[in-house]
Amino acid sequence: MAAAPHAVWAVVSDVTRIGELSPETFEAEWLDGATGPSVGATFRGHVRRSGSGVRYWTTCRVTDCEPGRSFGFDVQGPGGRVLNSWAYEIEPSAAGSSVTESFRLHGGALQRFYWRLAGARRAAVNVRGMTQTLNRVKAIVEA
């Protein structure tokens, strides 16, 4: 991306902008008095799963927050159990910044069963979504 790492980080770490970026999560808000990113801060995201019309809220906790370098969070399920993790790694590059978005699923019998049945399809949806998100970030920071 033709933008400084801090400019990219400012966009990906502002969860209130998620509706501009994500094809699945169309809004988010900070919780418990948080007003911005910091390790341990919580937010909730409003998700429209795979364009299927199924909508739900998820609670997330920031796990990595290094301005200009990285931003990550865990998506929590019932009882605060971590279901999956999302992260952005930002490196300086000759053009400005190199950005990687990643997803990691946390194990459990039910999730392993789900991924056996629908894993390839869901993985393709995630890759498409991450590509769309990064292209949208690029458009914003290069404008």
Distance of alpha carbon 71 from alpha carbon 9, whole angstroms: 7
Position with higher pLDDT, 41 vs 116: 41
What is the tens place of the pLDDT at every residue in 95-109? 999 999 998 888 677
Task: CATH number of the domain at 62, please.
Answer: 3.30.530.20
Q: How confident is the model over 23-47, as pLDDT tens digits? A: 999 999 999 999 999 999 999 999 9
Three-class DSSP category at 60? strand
Cβ distance 15 to 36 under 8 Å? Answer: no
- Tell me how many domains the chain contains: 1
Assess contact for 38 and 72: CB atoms under 8 A.
no
Residue 46: give the domain boundaries: 5-142
